[in-house]
Structure 1
Amino acid sequence: MSSNKRITTTVIQERKVAGKAITMLTAYDFSMAKFLDDAGVDMLLVGDSLGNVVLGYDSTLPVTMEDMIHHGKAVCRGAKRAMVVVDMPFMSYQVSTEQAVANAGRIMKETGAQAVKLEGGQEVADAVKAIVRAGIPVVGHLGLTPQSVHSLGGFKVQGKEEKGAQKLLDDAKLLEESGAFAVVLECVPALLAQKVTDSIAIPTIGIGAGVYCDGQVLVTNDLLGLFPGFTPKFVKQYANLHTQLAQAIAEYRKEVEERAFPGAEHSFKISDEVLEKLY
């Protein structure tokens, strides 16, 4: 496969067989999508986490179909090689199978994405089957599912007890049977994620699920250290761009206030002859 050839569901599934790790990061706009695409990231997730990261909500629940489509379009314009997966937002697939298929189809038609992602196991199995039957690739999402944060009792590790661990394993198998081509495991004990990974033929992509998954995903803004304050345990900050940005902006403000910027090198000229003719 050439380096600029589009990543497909077949390629992602072949990575599991070959034991080659899958890389996935979130993207919400054209510029970041192009940057990640050029860097060789396999999959770009237009996550409903944009509710927190971009739109300033306290959760993902207020995010709408229009929000996801708007940002999905931008990401697809920037990604030429990476597979783009768009999250189906809260209440866009839970009401009925027909609603799920219609909204998944709308996302695919209007954004140009290559797949959709939805949260849940047994509860959404029929929707997954129907969406796949319509020819739309589906990524599942188990463990800590942010759209169900209230029923889960908050943001905490899932599957630590026998009942929850068994349900997660059963749900992963059911998602595979329903036609999902990959599944995200979020905030799951590493050894449970390993058991799930070894028990299904489709790739697992972990976020806070340890090293044994077939791939990893992080929120790009977390990875780059763009936000100060709380950082989840499972996030590794590969840069501290918040500090760099704050310093750059402070320097800009200072130079403007002192009239040190713009300098002559940033300005355009006009001849004295033209100026003299003005009245």
Structure 2
Amino acid sequence: MKKKMSILDFKKYKEEKRKFAYVTAYDYTMASIVDDSDVEIILVGDSLGMTMLGYDSTVPVTVEDMIHHGSAVVRGAKNTFITVDMPFGSYEVSKEEAVKNAVKIFKETGCDCVKLEGGTEYVDTIKTIIKAGVPVMGHIGLTPQSSTMLGGFKVQGTTPESAKKLIEDAKALEEAGCFSIVLECVPSVVGKKIAESVKVPILGIGAGKDVDCQVIVLQDMLGMYPDFKPKFVKIFANVRDEMLKGLNAYHEESVNGTFPSEEYSFNKKVDLSDL
């Protein structure tokens, strides 16, 4: 059985140049499977808006949605470090509102930290949340909650100026107290430079191989979610196809009467003559 990571392990792994892995999970069953694997971290991401709830974006996801799914994941993965996203609208209005929602998510799910999107503009908010006792993981680069303002789901940091801004963001989040930072959808050379610029781990999703940790959406890597496949997604197992095979085999046997056979039936004799 694997040993659960702690907040202190993140910096230790970086110092030791030890790579690790990070996937999403949104329910008890999938979390329990990840818990049995070698993967060290689970993100209960607001991407559940698309993968679990059928929204077109992460924007409609609520704090209550995150708590509902987050608490189920925590119950299913006792030996895995668990992060829960703060959804759109839960931390942007004021520091007071951000702390209230961060504490609520942290307390009611039992997760290990919260994650929020944004760079230098959220430093004061992050400091306030951490001061309240809630560990914070940062998130820069492509930030899906504000993707419309960034021109859609596009690679970030593609100019010297924008790359410099990402480096400044990473340093500011580290200074604010973030113990790690998700970096999404940037050129590999930018991912490498940012990882070298800070002492906390950079957790890359579409950020190249030179970051400290790889992040991927579980439904994407297992071929379960056909609607959208980013360039950085590799399908490691085509679970959707296997599920369809199983469902269709079940349907066929149910229709032709071969299921349930004697093996899957209760065969105790019952006297029904008087009925």
TM-score clears 0.5: yes
CA distance in 2, matches of 1:94, 1:208: 25
Cα deviation for residue 166 of structure 1 reads 1.1
CA distance in 2, matches of 1:15, 1:4: 15
Q: How high is the sequence identity, in percent, across the aligned residues?
A: 50
| Contact 1:208/1:234 (8 A) holds in 2 | yes
Instruction: Tell me the SS of whatever aligns to 1:217.
Output: strand
Cα deviation for residue 42 of structure 1 reads 1.0
Match of 1:226 in 2: 224
Q: Are residue 240 (structure 1) and residue 238 (structure 2) matched?
A: yes
Q: Are residue 268 (structure 1) and residue 266 (structure 2) matched?
A: yes
CA distance in 2, matches of 1:131, 1:24: 23
Q: Are residue 61 (structure 1) and residue 59 (structure 2) matched?
A: yes
* Residue pairs, 1:121-136, within 5 angstroms: 121-136=119-134
* Residue pairs, 1:1-279, within 5 angstroms: 3-228=1-226, 230-272=228-270, 274-277=271-274, 279=275
- Any unmatched runs of 5+ in structure 1? none
Cα deviation for residue 228 of structure 1 reads 2.9
- TM-score normalised by L of structure 1: 0.96
Which one is further off, 227-236 or 246-255? 227-236
Cα deviation for residue 74 of structure 1 reads 0.4
Name the CA shift for 1:29/1:229 in 2 (closer, same or farther; >3 Å). Answer: closer
CA distance in 2, matches of 1:168, 1:188: 10
Cα deviation for residue 160 of structure 1 reads 0.2
Cα deviation for residue 229 of structure 1 reads 5.2
Number of aligned residue pairs: give it: 275
**Cα shift readout 1:160-213 (whole Å, capped 9, x = no counterpart):** 012211111100000001000000000011111111110101100000000010
**Cα shift readout 1:56-78 (whole Å, capped 9, x = no counterpart):** 00000000001000000000001
CA distance in 1, matches of 2:227, 2:111: 33
- Any unmatched runs of 5+ in structure 2? none
Cα deviation for residue 4 of structure 1 reads 4.2
| Contact 1:40/1:82 (8 A) holds in 2 | no
Instruction: Tell me the SS of whatever aligns to 1:116.
Output: strand
CA distance in 1, matches of 2:194, 2:261: 60
CA distance in 2, matches of 1:231, 1:64: 25
* Amino acid paired to 2:189: L
Cα deviation for residue 258 of structure 1 reads 1.2
CA distance in 1, matches of 2:2, 2:160: 44
Instruction: Tell me the SS of whatever aligns to 2:91.
Output: coil
Cα deviation for residue 243 of structure 1 reads 1.2
CA distance in 2, matches of 1:36, 1:187: 24
Instruction: Tell me the SS of whatever aligns to 2:147.
Output: helix
Instruction: Tell me the SS of whatever aligns to 2:114.
Output: strand
CA distance in 1, matches of 2:253, 2:40: 41
CA distance in 2, matches of 1:263, 1:62: 46
* Amino acid paired to 2:51: V
Which one is further off, 62-71 or 221-230? 221-230
| Contact 1:256/1:262 (8 A) holds in 2 | yes
| Contact 2:28/2:72 (8 A) holds in 1 | yes
